[in-house]
Structure 1
């Protein structure tokens, strides 16, 4: 079987920066639904189209083909009082309220309902303020992916309807894993993310 639309593809992969420093090389394969379902980067999917099990290649992605250029406008400063204890650099939260919002609770609830809510990483903690960065940790970086096709199978009707393979996990690339996520009882701060994509498939974006 060749890789074609509506096939489920298992890939071994290694992710490095442009200088070949390893960023991630997991033991488990990446599994995605092929055919424009946003399961991997378009450039990678285009190269894999029509390939067989055993095919391997290295693909270089510029920032615009991967996680985008770094956007300084996604750097936010929020009051320290909006966050839980303990708070540490590296913690990640989903959604940030807009400035001068009078309906913080409603706004945050609305943001959490959006599938594409940004994940913000704490980059600095001061006495009264917290610095958050909404850029993906790999934004602005040129990346290299070594991939090897490990398995190909036809997708089920349910997988096609759901737009991702059954049981596939989420690739986070610097984002928190689902088991690391915690929910706080506080009503007025941003909820900790449970993982990029949440119930979505393991993906390379």
Structure 2
């Protein structure tokens, strides 16, 4: 049986950067990544790669930023007043924050600069601008039920929630891996909302 668009599949994977550093793997989570192929719930490069694979087939793929989490968008670097940040901990470069948008969605952001009265946060996806290398293996193929499709639509992300993503990016359920593999977010639609967003500290997460 070959993977077709609309199939529910399970994929074991290991994701690396160009330098060989492993940024995520299904073994870390203890279960394979599960999603419906061809429905945009994983980044395009990953989604396209699994279509046509057969059960237990393994292969290596390379995903460019264009087919992954997109290029780095300089407009997603924002300055916010320090008094908008949590008061219980001193902001530091590299600290991860959760930015709550007016629509209730929360997206991850990293502090990149700190001054006396302002903090610069980067709302780009942690994997934006990076070329990703994956070893993947399809370990289960089945027909997706209406319940499966509805569940993924509600989650807006792959059901297993791998990688600290974000996903679609903007779509977070702990941020699927891209390996997170949520689709990459455009970012532009959030520009105005980000100025009015609530910022709160979040535990440091795995890259989505």
Normalised to the residue count of structure 2, the TM-score between the two structures is: 0.69
Q: Which structure has the greater CA radius of gyration?
A: 1
- List runs of 5+ in structure 1 lacking aligned partners: 96-107, 179-187, 197-203
**Aligned residue for 1:32?**
35
2:19 alignment partner, SS class: coil
1:177 to 1:128, Cα distance in 2 relative to 1, 3 A = farther
The residue that corresponds to 2:192 in the other structure is none
| 1:173 Cα deviation from its structure 2 partner | 4.2
Q: In the alignment, does 2:55 pair up with 1:86?
A: no
Partners of 1:60 and 1:31 in 2: how far apart? 20
Q: Any gaps of 5 or more consecutive residues in structure 2?
A: 167-171, 175-196
Q: Contact 1:11/1:31 (CA < 8 Å) preserved in 2?
A: yes
8 Å contact 1:63–1:141 — kept in the other structure? yes
Matched residue pairs, number?
172
Where does residue 136 of structure 1 map in the other structure? 125
Q: CA deviation at 1:68?
A: 0.9
Shift of 1:29: 1.1
CA-atom RMSD in angstroms: 3.2
Is residue 96–residue 203 contact of structure 2 (8 Å, CA) maintained in 1? no
Alignment of 1:88-107 (within 5 A): 88-89=91-92, 90-95=95-100
Structure having greater relative contact order (Cα 8 Å, sep ≥ 6): 1
Q: 1:100 corresponds to which residue?
A: none
SS in 1 for 2:128: coil
Note the 1:116-127 alignment, pairs <5 A. Answer: 118-127=107-116
User: In structure 1, how many angstroms separate the alpha carbons of the residues matched to 2:41 and 2:202?
Assistant: 20
Residue 78 of structure 2 corresponds to which residue in structure 1? 76
- Distance in 2 of aligned mates of 1:55 and 1:164: 28
Taking a change above 3 Å as real, the CA distance of residues 111 and 125 of structure 1, as seen in their structure-2 partners, is farther
